[in-house]
Structure 1
Amino acid sequence: MGIFFSKRKKISRITDHDKTILELKIQRDNLKKYQLRIEAILENDRNLAKRLLTEGKKDRAKLLLRKKRFQEQLLEQTDGQLENLEKLTQDLEFAQIEIKVVEGLKIGNIALKKINDTLNIQNIEQILEETREGVEKQNEINDLISGVLNDNDEQAIELELSQLIDQNSEILELPEIPNEEPATDQLKKEIKEKTKKSILVEV
């Protein structure tokens, strides 16, 4: 079977802004390497000029010092270019941070607006009013019930509650099963009656 699975093309997260910063850093590093190379040449030319002077070759030593001076001027220009590259790189990186901050603020403002739209003042007032009405209604019901019942009613309620608790306790206490066979029919009848009462209580 000729089934071909196409790989999904990965979306690069590197932006043009990132590429620009990378290029600037590469140029900066190349300039630093160039400076180190020029400084090494300058030191070598200086030592060579000293040796030429000891050998009595003043003209050649002077010519070498002229070359050295020209390279020193190039080195000074390189310092200025390097400083500009450093500043431009830092500005671009800071601008990238600012863009992310602005994007974060934008997303936050959108989320906050949605929350505010959901929880507007009218909805909150309506919810509070409905809650207040529900509480007041419940209080009215409690007041009505309290007004109808007197102390005798409360005592009757307590008594009935106590009876219900006793009945539940009796349900939990099942009749004991005798280990030995009953000796008389009367004993069988008593056990049967106890079992019947337990069933009725449960119902």
Structure 2
Amino acid sequence: MKLQYAITLNEPRSVDAVAQQMSGSSRTAFTRTDVLTALGVLQGQERAGLALIYAKYTKDKGETRRAVEACAKVAVQLAGKLPVKERGKTQVIIAQGLARLAVAEFSRTADTPGAKCRCGGRGTVADEERLVELIVLASKPVDAPTKPCSRCRGTGLKPVPASRVYRAVAALAPALSERTFYRQWQGLYDQLLAWCYTQEDRAERGYSRLTREAA
């Protein structure tokens, strides 16, 4: 069972998806107890990554708060190494604000209000040029081929512009100029977002390892 489904075992709305994932006669099928045990072990090994995954797929407020706290701790540590003039309380406020924004961006999915790309969240669009070529070659109707959406680059989500991140941070630290943000703070935001994806990957690999060992 995929980790994103495993974390929804206790959610009634996910019964069908979970049942489908747990069904089958393969030797790698797990019981509910197996999955919950693996999640318990994973929680101790990859706490931040698991919290981020809960925040993304279940929108759990408690897990989202834990994910933000973990990301903020990293943000404050990294901010302390930046050659910026903002120090003390202002530096911490900016770093924590960036952490919240990074977790919020990471946690977006196609069902997040306003996040879906114009491709409908699929991440792909019809490849009209290729379709014409296929019709000419086949001389008969063919299935429309697709290609990655150029707007979202296959994610299915609208990109978050840096200007929106700046405005959100500037609301917390009004003295922060736009130029200073782009020159000295945007890089930290990118690092925090990358950290979120790294933690997610670590949690997924840890879960795969645990479930392989239980097989």
**Please, what TM-score do these two structures have when normalized by structure 2?**
0.27
Q: Which structure would you say has the larger Rg?
A: 1
1 or 2 for the larger relative contact order (CA 8 Å, sep ≥6)?
2
Q: Which structure shows the higher helix fraction?
A: 1
